[in-house]
Amino acid sequence: MATNRSPADDDSRQAQALTEKSTPVAILLAFVLSPVAYYYVSRTKLAVIT
């Protein structure tokens, strides 16, 4: 059974958010403060878990 996904799904919002973020800044944050890096790339659930 196939499911239809609307363009407003979570994946598309994350893809749009990632294109607006700077990769070097995200890498630097990942080395220094990994929860902040997750939050920077809009992965708040992983930031809370970390």
Over residues 1-50, the pLDDT tens digits come to 565 655 554 566 656 656 678 899 999 999 999 999 999 999 999 999 98
Write out the two tokens for 6. 């609307």
pTM of the entire structure? 0.58
Phi, psi of 45 (to 5 degrees): -65, -45
CB atoms within 10 A of CB 37: 21
What per-residue confidence (pLDDT) applies to 39? 92
Residues 29, 34: Cα–Cα separation, whole Å: 6
